[in-house]
Structure 1
Amino acid sequence: MFQGNAGLKPKEGEITSRPWQWPINYRGQFFSGSQYRIYLLGNPVIWWANLVFILTFLVCFITNCIKIQRGHAESFSDGLKRKLVAGGWLFFGWVLHYVPFWAMGRVLYFHHYFPALLFSSMITGIIIDYLLEELPKFFGEQNAKVVYHTALGLILSATVYSFYLFAPLTYGMTGPSSHEANSTLYGLKWMDSWEF
């Protein structure tokens, strides 16, 4: 079974991808080319935010590990400790579901990243929760709830709006391609490597 899996080759004209392309949403994958064109592409706002928050988690985790080594562990709240431990396990899961693809010689596709994406999205949730709890502390007790709810509203609004913008890719595009000015997707081709 291992040899059969390792020997998989792409079909002629089929678009494949490499692991470095997946987290940055470098290229999607067409699923149809008829009247309704369906293009598998991750929501760029979500995917790029996940990358930023994975890096943010690593900085927080390493910083707090250094603090523990230097004996400053008493300054941690139980909530922060739980978030760091949960984030550590999720990061471990992300690594386990992403890194092995770098060693594979077989044909790889964009959808191979999806299990790792779930872990990176959960890390994003933990870091956003941590930041939303910490952010209001800088604005005083009176403004804490307003700042918390405003920040949460902005995050949710950006997520919903980005879904609205890119939904036609998933549910089927009709009409002209994105490079034509009268296309509903005109201006959404944020990377030259996207082929819709």
Structure 2
Amino acid sequence: MDEWVLEVVGEDARLPQDGVLRSLTTKFVLRHRVFGCLLTAGKTPLPEWGFKQGEVFCDQSGKSSNKDAVWNIEQHLNERLPEPEPRQYKSNFWQDFIHINMAMLDFNNGLVQDPDKYDHLASQPSQWPFLAVGIRLNKWWDSTLKIYLIGNPAVWWSGSLSLGVFIFTLAYYSVARGRLQQEREQEQQWEQEQDGDQQEHQHISTPANNTNTANDMILMTPQEWDHFTFAGKVTLGGWFLHYLPSLVMGRVMYLHHYFPPLYFTILLCAYLIDHFLTRSQARLLAKTLVWGFAYTVVTMTFVWFWPASYGFHGPSDSMKNRQWRAAWDIANPYKPRTFM
């Protein structure tokens, strides 16, 4: 009853398609001789009674196209077999790239929350941008060292707000540049119609100079515009590409999964401060005061939350003054689900 038939379903294109079983390169299925089903690996782990192990079953559909029923041999040791050529195991880069990313996607989607128990550490991606949650990293007993995973609120919130500020600024610049271009086209058309009248030509020249002055103060040169849009592509685009997978994955999520997108919001916030100071033509003293204020706020907030981040002893009530949000459970043992 435990007899299985090995069927080769794939082989590296650079090797002979002769049905010979090779380690790593040969893909095969195991079909039950009596029932005709295929040995298949399940994606959902077993409950507690199965020790969270992966389930292996016999798929009655018998379809070899099911990728969960395809196996290969990672290593085979036999002194009587000749050593294969090293180039035999050199795989195609793009095939490996696609395979590894698909494997990671399947693996992450398989890390689902246990329905038999409540995971108080888990959170939703919508709670991350405004730091609506934190994580208790160990037991919250009065006699133990307690560490609370939480970011610097000043950095976290300013970075998230910079996303909206950049989008608004980009929209404002785009509309202003479009209106300026339209005004210049109308002026050129009017000048062409009135090119014989010197008095009217002088009358048109004065508003054009005022418009150029406004352009210098509000809008940007083509080089500045290219730099502004490039910074947005890198920071805003980087944030979106790192945050988007969290919204579509089915696995259980935690606060630390937002760290990669967070880095891009920090870069964007710093860039916007520098951009506005440069565009306003602020003096060196004003720039020093603005940057000094930003550094002071970030440093003081870091020092204030130092005990929570690096561990504290004693009752958790001593950290009430650091629980700025009701959803944080530094002192409060209950963590309500909230978006903001």
Mapping 1:95-174, distance limit 5 Å: 95-135=240-280, 137=282, 144-174=283-313
- 8 A contact 2:124–2:253 mirrored in 1: yes
Instruction: Give the AA of the match of 1:58.
Output: I
Aligned to 2:130: 24
Aligned equivalents of 1:5, 1:99: Cα separation in 2: 14
Aligned to 2:328: 194
Structure 1 ranges of 4+ moved more than 6 A: none
Instruction: Give the AA of the match of 1:16.
Output: A
Aligned to 2:20: none
Aligned equivalents of 2:160, 2:230: Cα separation in 1: 19
- 8 A contact 2:112–2:251 mirrored in 1: yes
Say which is worse superposed, 9-18 or 164-173, in terms of deviation: 9-18
Structure having greater relative contact order (Cα 8 Å, sep ≥ 6): 1
- 1:44-63 C-alpha deviation (Å, 9 max, x unpaired): 11111112111111111121
Segments of 5+ residues of structure 2 without an aligned counterpart are: 1-102, 183-214, 331-340
Instruction: Give the AA of the match of 1:95.
Output: F
Aligned to 1:141: none
More helix by share: 1
RMSD after superposition: 2.1
Aligned equivalents of 2:161, 2:134: Cα separation in 1: 20
- 8 A contact 1:38–1:170 mirrored in 2: yes
Aligned equivalents of 2:240, 2:110: Cα separation in 1: 24
Aligned equivalents of 1:150, 1:90: Cα separation in 2: 25
Say which is worse superposed, 35-44 or 64-73, in terms of deviation: 64-73
Aligned to 2:50: none
Mapping 1:46-61, distance limit 5 Å: 46-61=155-170
Aligned to 2:111: 8
Aligned equivalents of 2:299, 2:225: Cα separation in 1: 28
Instruction: Give the AA of the match of 1:37.
Output: K
Aligned equivalents of 2:247, 2:232: Cα separation in 1: 23
- 8 A contact 1:26–1:193 mirrored in 2: yes
2:175 is aligned, of 66, 74, 79, to: 66
- 8 A contact 1:54–1:120 mirrored in 2: yes
Aligned to 1:94: 239
Secondary structure of the corresponding residue to residue 56 of structure 1? helix
Q: TM-score, normalised by structure 1?
A: 0.84
The 1:65–1:88 alpha-carbon spacing in structure 2 relative to 1, beyond 3 Å, is farther
Segments of 5+ residues of structure 1 without an aligned counterpart are: 138-143
Aligned equivalents of 1:49, 1:9: Cα separation in 2: 32
Q: CA deviation at 1:80?
A: 5.2
Aligned equivalents of 2:264, 2:289: Cα separation in 1: 26
The 1:154–1:103 alpha-carbon spacing in structure 2 relative to 1, beyond 3 Å, is same
Q: CA deviation at 1:133?
A: 2.4
Aligned equivalents of 1:152, 1:107: Cα separation in 2: 39
Identity %: 29
More strand by share: 2
- 1:90-136 C-alpha deviation (Å, 9 max, x unpaired): 10110001122112221111111111001111111110111232455
Rg bigger for which structure? 2
